Structure 1
Amino acid sequence: MQRFLYCAAPLLLGLLSGCNEPLVGPELVVVPAGLANYHLPGSSDVQEEALQEFSIMRRQVSQAEYAMCVDEGDCPALETAADERVAQLPAVGLSWQDANAYAAWLSRRSGHRYRLPRHGEWVLAAASAYIDEAPTVDDPNNPARRWLAEYAQRANRERLPETLKPFGGYGSNEYGLLDAGGNVWEWTDTCFSRNAGDFCGIRIAAGRHPSVLAEFERDPTSGACSVGQPPTHLGLRLVRDD
């Protein structure tokens, strides 16, 4: 398995500044071309997205990896409870803005272009780990019935435990992707908006079910912008384009 390689001596001395050797990025899995089918929150329409082959991280970004970005001044520091540095646990307590800062840092330090996946890409990569829940009620003459049914559906979902598991604790899917159905939801770059425009402040976090959250949200349990049962944790997994 590939791992991050960086200047060992400066790290031992606690001096990460000035360490400019390229990083060897995380292990990737290749997802073959295919169709991603899914429902978005609040919609009874099936979204069908044709996708080309792409490469995505086998696991989520770790606490130790995100901490490196913080130490080099490119990523915002996390809240105290989330500011850990364990190499085998996912980094959580991340906003969409934090996730993009990390992607930009990793791209610069590795020489490869990393980015957040689109929601359709995440669904295709998650494969059997993703459970698409269609609305239980769909009355075109009374949309309120569908909204109420969907709210009840979300509120009744099983709440996953908050304790983080080491990578692989929630298993792997047919592509070798780890923990796609676990207790860490992953930011995507997909905007949740009925009117596409230049500005988007609401994004989709992907997991066992899609969740709609503000870009600045780090704690999904605060209920600021989440509807129904919120994600347990927010983390990230990146696509590599080159």
Structure 2
Amino acid sequence: MVVIPAGDFWMGSPDSEADREDDERRHRVAVSAFAVGQTEVTFAEYDQFCAATGRDKPNDAGWGRGTRPVINVSWNDAVAYAEWLSRETAQPYRLPTEAEWEYACRGGVAGERYCGGNDVGRLAWYVENSGDQTHPVGQKAANGFNLYDMSGNVSEWICSLYEGEYRGAEVKCIEKGTYGLLAMRGGSWGYRPAWVRSAL
């Protein structure tokens, strides 16, 4: 885990950003300190959870397991993994809020298009360089917080509801028993560069 310091940042994107979507309204957000995994959760890590709990292992699409990021995991599966990890370690784990995710992605630097800079090929596995599959975590450059693969490779579940425009859901986790459209961030190996941006 990497400890991310408290701070405030501009979430979303400026009107001038190329490929900007309507739901990326730029606004200032304060974030408390938190910790986040240095890489995406791997098959090796998730398979331990499956073995310990008797869950079926998710399909790897024939690409391999080990240090590749786990795929074919639902939001409920991701939450269950975090809850299991909390029990196993006696430390609190949960999915990040949308604001925490974007703050961590930006790595303490404002204005970068992708998570760690502006050179998508150096930072992300995406449609033009992925060979139509995931890749082992940590092979691309890290961002300013020393986090890997936040742009591309696989999309990441967060604990916030998607609202279509920012109205406060981005700074909190969904409450149990609440229903709505759940958000994912980061984009994946099959996405074009516009869809692996920091603000999306």
TM (normalized to structure 1)? 0.56
Residues 1:172 and 2:142 are matched in the alignment: yes
Aligned partner letter, 2:11: Y
CA 1:75–1:123 in structure 2 vs 1: closer, same or farther (change >3 Å)?
A: farther
Residues 1:96 and 2:114 are matched in the alignment: no
Residues 1:68 and 2:48 are matched in the alignment: yes
Query: Aligned with 2:139: secondary structure?
Result: coil
Query: Aligned with 1:55: secondary structure?
Result: strand
Runs of 4+ more than 4 Å apart: 194-198
Residues 1:181 and 2:151 are matched in the alignment: yes
C-alpha contact (below 8 Å) 1:61/1:90 kept by paired residues: yes
Residues 23-82 of structure 1: per-residue CA shift (max 9 Å, x gap)? xxxxx1121111233339643532332011211111111101111111122645323627
| Structure 2, unpaired ranges of 5+ | 14-20, 115-125, 170-174
Query: Aligned with 2:155: secondary structure?
Result: strand
Judging by fraction of residues, say which structure has more strand. 1
Residues 124-177 of structure 1: per-residue CA shift (max 9 Å, x gap)? 111159738xxxxxxxxxxxxxxxxxxxxxxxxx73523222222121011111
CA RMSD of aligned residues (A): 3.2
Residue 159 of structure 1 is matched in structure 2 by 127
Structure number with bigger Rg: 1
The partner residue of 1:109 within 88, 106, 112 is: 88
CA 1:206–1:112 in structure 2 vs 1: closer, same or farther (change >3 Å)?
A: same
Residue 31 of structure 2 is matched in structure 1 by 51
Residue 138 of structure 1 is matched in structure 2 by none
| Structure 1, unpaired ranges of 5+ | 1-27, 133-157, 210-219, 222-228, 232-242
Q: Report the alpha carbon displacement of residue 83 of structure 1 after superposing the two structures with TM.
A: 9.1
Q: Give aligned-pair identity as a percent.
A: 28
TM (normalized to structure 2)? 0.67
Residue 191 of structure 1 is matched in structure 2 by 161
Query: Aligned with 2:86: secondary structure?
Result: helix
Residue 200 of structure 1 is matched in structure 2 by 179
CA 1:39–1:74 in structure 2 vs 1: closer, same or farther (change >3 Å)?
A: farther
Q: Report the alpha carbon displacement of residue 95 of structure 1 after superposing the two structures with TM.
A: 1.5
Residue 122 of structure 2 is matched in structure 1 by none
| Aligned residue pair count | 161
CA 1:120–1:47 in structure 2 vs 1: closer, same or farther (change >3 Å)?
A: same
2-structure distance, mates of 1:42, 1:181: 20
CA 1:60–1:29 in structure 2 vs 1: closer, same or farther (change >3 Å)?
A: same
Query: Aligned with 1:114: secondary structure?
Result: coil
2-structure distance, mates of 1:105, 1:90: 18
